[in-house]
Chain A
């Protein structure tokens, strides 16, 4: 037991501080990726709701592809695809070697693209759940398009979207471990490093699992709070 405490401890020679720091990277990566995904998802939902054919089709293809293809494949596409493009540009300016994309930014982009496909479906469903009368009421009040979206539709839409978004968030948090394959030192990668240099993989992966579990549990309560707040003053069905 003292052996475990020493390995995972916060003092000199322990890996506790490194693992906590890496948990911070995981959290930052997941939050930024999730927010970027909200932008992609909102665009996708708007595309799906559009009466014009091309945006509707593009949004449909985006959702189908990135929800149907393994997340790992998407990560490889963005990392290698981006790095290859960057290497070409580097060559043009006279650099010889392989230029890798910055891993944190690539990770955020990858999580954004993947979770955006899922968030798009959530927003689409939530948009449809908003009472049609609300749209007429906006018109009757003389609100313009952006005013009605911002003041009337989106706040009500979020009520219906939050449970689905909570699920997507849990997905994002677990997906963030896959970003370790491109070399970003987040929680998973840090656990691998610790496991490799101490030859104690079991302890390190259990520690990583516990930290992921704690982050998931704590953040889930944030979504529960948000949901309670969004529904305040409303009578539940």
Chain B
């Protein structure tokens, strides 16, 4: 009943979309993480003029569908072409590839900044006070005490974020990017075999997720040796 030949045929076709899925995930996670870190740190000062716009940005990107965000950036910004051309960033918003990365990165920045804000909060106050007492500057305390502990604390949440991002990249297929889900849809409409294609593409995503979770678990264990021993 199960047609192995068909699976052998479609798996390489689907695998051809994997580099794009990985690229979108890596680029958006990377840019998103840096932005998230900036946003989380900027909120530490409790300066209302800084905090309020950041809160608004986070609320908007967490409260609206990713698809709307991608369409707004890809189709919506096209209306401002002359202006975007005049400041020289039109080439960025002309390509669906970059539009997807911009949308996914901003989305990730919003979610990630909340995770990092929580993680920074979790650093015991006493440690920061001890750093101040031993004459460390604010920047040095941040670099040597707060960030290492906060980032380690954030690993489990971030591994969830990466899985969500891997899944989120599939939305890029709607603006013509042929990553794994885009190819899967193409295969379904060509072969009319939805279940087989779903199983093959699904297995690909599950394997990828499993690999990411395992790698981050290993990293967390390595960074918290005392917990592993206990």
Contact = CB atoms under 8 A, between A and B. Distances in A.
B63 A76 contact: no
B68 A69 contact: no
A197 to B, nearest CB: 13
Given A69-B202, A76-B184, A76-B185, A205 B76 contact: yes
A215 to B, nearest CB: 9
B63 A216 contact: yes
Interface in B64-99: 64-69, 71-72, 75-80
A222 B205 CA distance: 35
Interface string A194-220: 010000111001101100110011000
Interface of A is mostly: helix
B194 A81 contact: yes
A175 B65 CA distance: 7
B181 A70 contact: yes
Contacts of A201: 71-72, 75-76, 78-79
A71 B167 contact: yes
Given A200-B79, A201-B78, A206-B72, A80 B67 contact: no
A56 interface: no
A217 B59 CA distance: 10
Nearest to A72: B170
Interface residues of A, number: 38
A209 B185 contact: no
Nearest to B204: A69
A213 B67 contact: no
Interface stretch (A8-16, A142-150, A176-184): A176-184
Contacts of A77: 194-195, 198
Interface size class of B (residues with CB under 8 A): 35 or more
Contact of B60 (A68, A191, A213): A213
Contacts of B13: none
A176 B181 CA distance: 18
A71 B201 CA distance: 12
Given A69-B205, A72-B171, A178-B171, A217 B68 contact: no
Given A77-B194, A209-B68, A69 B167 contact: yes
A174 B72 contact: no
Interface of A: 64-65, 68-74, 76-77, 80-81, 84, 170, 173-178, 180-181, 188, 191-192, 195, 200-202, 205-206, 208-209, 212-213, 216-217
Given A180-B67, A201-B71, 18 more contacts: A64-B206, A69-B198, A70-B167, A72-B173, A74-B198, A76-B181, A77-B195, A178-B171, A195-B71, A201-B75, A201-B79, A205-B71, A205-B75, A206-B72, A209-B64, A209-B69, A212-B63, A213-B59
19 contacts: A68-B163, A68-B202, A70-B170, A70-B205, A71-B170, A170-B63, A177-B66, A178-B67, A178-B171, A180-B67, A181-B174, A195-B75, A201-B72, A201-B75, A201-B76, A201-B79, A202-B77, A206-B76, A209-B72
